[in-house]
Amino acid sequence: MERGTESAEQIADAVAYVCENATRIRETLERGPVGGTARLDELFTALRAGNDAGEPLEAVHRALRRAQDAAGVFGRTRDAAMTSLAGIRRDHPRETVLLC
């Protein structure tokens, strides 16, 4: 999935994940590059203010990835974006395979 194209449901799932795991996420960000925890604080500020969480959530995702968290925020949500196989293009029509 191309970053920045998350659906409202994916964003909601990611926000729920962050809220449920805030302590662990903060600990991971503290071990990563400088500024990661600031991205988390910005996300919480946006959520408290009722602002759009898309960009701050993306910033937390990138900060987690830089802190060596391979899945980040969006890799742990319920979407099927990570279920495609490497080398298989999802934008092509699928071919039927008959197994005997």
64 and 29 in contact (C-beta within 8 Å)? yes
Distance of CA 5 to the CA centre of its chain: 11
Question: What CA–CA distance (Å, rounded) separates 96 from 61?
Answer: 36
On the question of pLDDT at 86 being above 60, the answer is: no
Reading the block at residue 44, the tokens are 């919480």
33 Rama class: left (phi>0) / alpha (psi -120 to 50) / beta: beta
On the question of pLDDT at 81 being above 70, the answer is: no
Q: What is the pLDDT of residue 95?
A: 64
Q: What is the pLDDT of residues 13-66, one digit of tens each?
A: 999 999 999 999 999 999 998 999 999 999 999 999 999 999 999 999 999 999
